[in-house]
């Protein structure tokens, strides 16, 4: 399902209209067209912005994250994100999930606010395909966070969970007094995992970051502990993190030998208001 009232033409910025199998922009001179996939999503990355054939998460990362998140290990984070969104007091907000991945958090927000107009996008076609295939009541597109195909000042709440930050684009698409919710890893997030992977594990850096045009209104910390009792779930967690690409062979082998893992988990939700 695609809502042309939010997504716009990524080439000229014009409004999009739905035809049987495509979205067509209302620019009478150009009439740019974007085919809709069978799952219901649309690809809106400009051809000259495609820096690789399949940018973003791989199928392994998408599948691993879906299996891990569906098992409920990060439910405390999803529940807190929904609470923060709901506490904004908007009855039917327009919500945009930037870097939505396979749609887990997007879907949780829709469950919490069924009257909200929710859309999500990600640079990974494989992730968006998985999201659109599962969450039929949410609008999904393939797009870059640095070139968001959404009109100026059209979004009430913007969420970004562990995805690249593009503050200028976020400022552009948010309405005045709109809210930007940014989830970042806490200092000891996945500490137990790091202790296995690295001889000298390091804490994540704590930052108080100001962004032009935004006011930081809250910082909400969520901490917990998870226990994984199968190597399959341990490897799912590993595969969905940046450590999968940064860990040497010895660290990976130590993890592959485990059938049980206990680790701290820690998110900080930074809440910004557009001023």
Structure tokens at 81: 């994100």
pTM of the shown model: 0.93
Cα 65 to chain centroid, rounded: 12
Give bridge partners of residue 15 from the DSSP assignment.
8
pLDDT of residue 31: 83
pLDDT of residue 49: 59
pLDDT of residue 36: 87
Beta strands across the sheet bearing 16-18: 16-18, 22-25, 33-35
pLDDT of residue 91: 86
β-bridge pairing 22-25 and 139-142: unpaired
Give DSSP secondary structure letters for the chain.
Answer: ---TTTSB-TTT--BEEE-SSEEEES-TTT--EEEBPTTS-EE---GGG--SSS-S--HHHHHHHHHHHHTTTTHHHHHHHHHHHHTT--SS-EEEEET-TTSHHHHHHHHH-TTSEEEEEES-HHHHHHHHHH-TTSEEEE--TTS--S-TT-EEEEEEESS---HHHHHHHEEEEEEEEEEEE-TTTTHHHHHHH-SS--PPPP-----TTEEEEEEEEEEEEEEE-SHHHHHHHHHTSTHHHH--HHHHHHHHT-S-EEEEEEEEEEEEEE-
> What does pLDDT average to in each consecutive run of 10 residues of the chain (275 residues)?
74 87 85 89 77 76 96 98 96 95 97 94 95 94 95 97 95 97 97 97 90 97 97 97 94 97 97 97
């Amino acid at each position: 399902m695609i809502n042309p009232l939010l997504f716009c033409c990524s080439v000229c910025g014009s409004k999009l209209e739905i035809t049987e199998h495509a979205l067509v922009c209302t620019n009478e001179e150009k009439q740019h067209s974007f085919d809709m996939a069978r799952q219901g999503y649309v690809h809106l990355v400009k051809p000259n912005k495609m820096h690789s054939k399949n940018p973003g998460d791989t199928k392994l990362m998408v599948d691993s994250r879906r299996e891990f998140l569906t098992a409920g290990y990060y439910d405390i984070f999803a529940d807190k994100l929904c609470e923060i969104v709901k506490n904004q007091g908007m009855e039917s907000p327009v919500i945009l999930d930037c870097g939505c991945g396979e749609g887990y958090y997007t879907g949780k927000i829709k469950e919490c606010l069924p009257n909200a107009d929710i859309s999500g996008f990600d640079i990974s076609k494989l992730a968006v395909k998985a999201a659109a295939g599962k969450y039929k009541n949410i609008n999904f597109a393939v797009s870059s966070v640095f070139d968001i195909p959404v009109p100026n000042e059209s979004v009430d709440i913007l969420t970004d969970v562990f995805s690249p930050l593009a503050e200028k684009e976020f400022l552009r698409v948010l309405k005045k007094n709109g809210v930007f919710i940014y989830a970042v890893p806490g200092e000891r997030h996945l500490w137990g995992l790091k202790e296995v992977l690295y001889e000298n594990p390091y804490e994540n850096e704590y930052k108080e970051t100001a962004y032009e045009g935004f006011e930081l209104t809250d910082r909400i910390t969520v901490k917990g502990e998870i226990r994984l009792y199968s190597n399959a779930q341990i490897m799912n967690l590993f595969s969905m993190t940046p450590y999968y690409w940064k860990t040497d062979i010895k660290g990976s082998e130590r993890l592959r030998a485990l059938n049980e893992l206990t680790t701290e988990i820690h998110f900080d939700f930074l809440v910004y208001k557009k001023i």
